[in-house]
Structure 1
Amino acid sequence: MATSSTTTTPLPDFLSEAGWEIHDTTSPFTAPHGRMYQKFDADGVCWRAFQARDEHCNGAGIIHGGMLMTFADALMGMTVAHNARSTALTVRMTTDLLSIARPGDWVIGQAKVSKLTRSVAFVGAEAHVGKRPLIACQGLFKLMRRRELRSHRQK
């Protein structure tokens, strides 16, 4: 059973059997969104999952589109970072919200880089609840060198 190095909470059976691990975020923005699970396959595809909670809901009691878009953006960024071995910043993201999710649903997404250059990456992502498509996205990400990031942080 896979667990994080900082927690001993076991994964749900359907995730642990598939080789998923707990993703411990370092982002202060996404940390409040709750526990995420993640894995990479041999083709560089990143998979990520979370169980929707009441805190993710809008006033209609369904999972807020902004939560789903944040999930997809982080998924695509991680996919680019993994494949390019570089920090990646979102330049553009187009999103189609195809269905709804409710508290208790498991949202499972996957992302794959379609083109990688020296300075940018193109990536696509989709997520579903069960067999129902939930969201589809395309993104353009800027690859950042450590030196560029340091100079931005100092400003």
Structure 2
Amino acid sequence: MQISSVAEQQGEVPEGFVVFRNAGAFAEKNGPLYFRPSDSTLGFRVSPAHTNPIGVCHGGWLSTFLDMQMPLTALREGGFEDRFLVTVSLSLDFLAIGSIGAWIEGQATVLKRSKSLVFIQGLAVSGGTPLLRSSGVYKAVQR
């Protein structure tokens, strides 16, 4: 895989992002993930540890990534204080590959919320190219 820029070769993290802490053991083991507090955006740089046997970002990792970004967005918008959002349903459409060295960011939009459910759509994007589109339903439960 060719890495397209000096920043990617050096594994730099874009300005405003910090290491995402307390994301759980699975995310800690498979990260690192980064977080931009100003808008609750998650991001990561594709490393060899994130790849499948053909050397591109594993679809399971991208799915997990958006399965964290979408509820994080809903929590940021409020209404679920002291709650955890568990996945009820997750639909995924893989659109493009993420190469080693690529910086990937999550985007999400809350479509509808009820007292205990939230419906969200999300994208994993690299360099303006959507890699994965998702929609999810999450249920608010007590922590």
Match of 1:80 in 2: 74
What is the Cα deviation at residue 89 of structure 1? 0.1
Partner of 1:57: 51
Q: Name which of structure 1's ranges 32-41 and 69-78 shifts more when overlaid on structure 2.
A: 32-41
C-alpha displacement of 1:92: 0.2
Bigger relative contact order (CA 8 A; separation at least 6): 2
Q: Does 1:126 align with 2:123?
A: yes
Q: Deviations over 1:65-119 (max 9, x none)?
A: 1110010101112222333222100000111110001111101111122212111
**Preserved CA contact (<8 Å) 2:102 2:126:** yes
Quick check: which has more Rg, 1 or 2?
A: 1
Percent same amino acid at aligned positions? 29
TM-score, normalised with respect to structure 2: 0.82
| In 2, Cα distance between equivalents of 1:12 and 1:62 | 19
Q: Is 2:69 the partner of 1:69? A: no
Q: What residue ranges of structure 2 are gaps of 5+ in the alignment?
A: 1-10
**Alpha-carbon distance in 2 for matches of 1:20, 1:56:** 19
CA distance in 1, matches of 2:30, 2:124: 17
Q: CA deviation at 1:120?
A: 0.4
Q: Distance in 1 between matches of 2:55 and 2:12?
A: 24
8 Å CA contact retained: 1:46, 1:111: no
Matched position secondary structure for 1:144: strand
Q: Distance in 2 between matches of 1:76 and 1:25?
A: 16
Pair 1:30-2:24 in alignment: no
Q: 1:47: which partner in 2?
A: 41
In 1, are the aligned partners of 2:69 and 2:108 still within 8 Å (CA)? yes
Aligned length: 130
Once the two structures are superposed, what CA deviation does each residue of 1:31-59 show, in whole Å capped at 9, x if it has no partner?
11222122355xxx631110001011111
Mapped partners of 1:21, 1:35: distance in 2: 10
Return closer, same or farther for 1:138/1:46 CA change in 2, 3 Å cut-off.
Answer: farther
Q: Distance in 2 between matches of 1:34 and 1:101?
A: 15
Please give the TM-score of this superposition, normalised by the length of structure 1: 0.76
Which runs of structure 1 show a deviation greater than 4 angstroms over 4 or more consecutive aligned residues? none
Q: CA RMSD in A?
A: 1.9
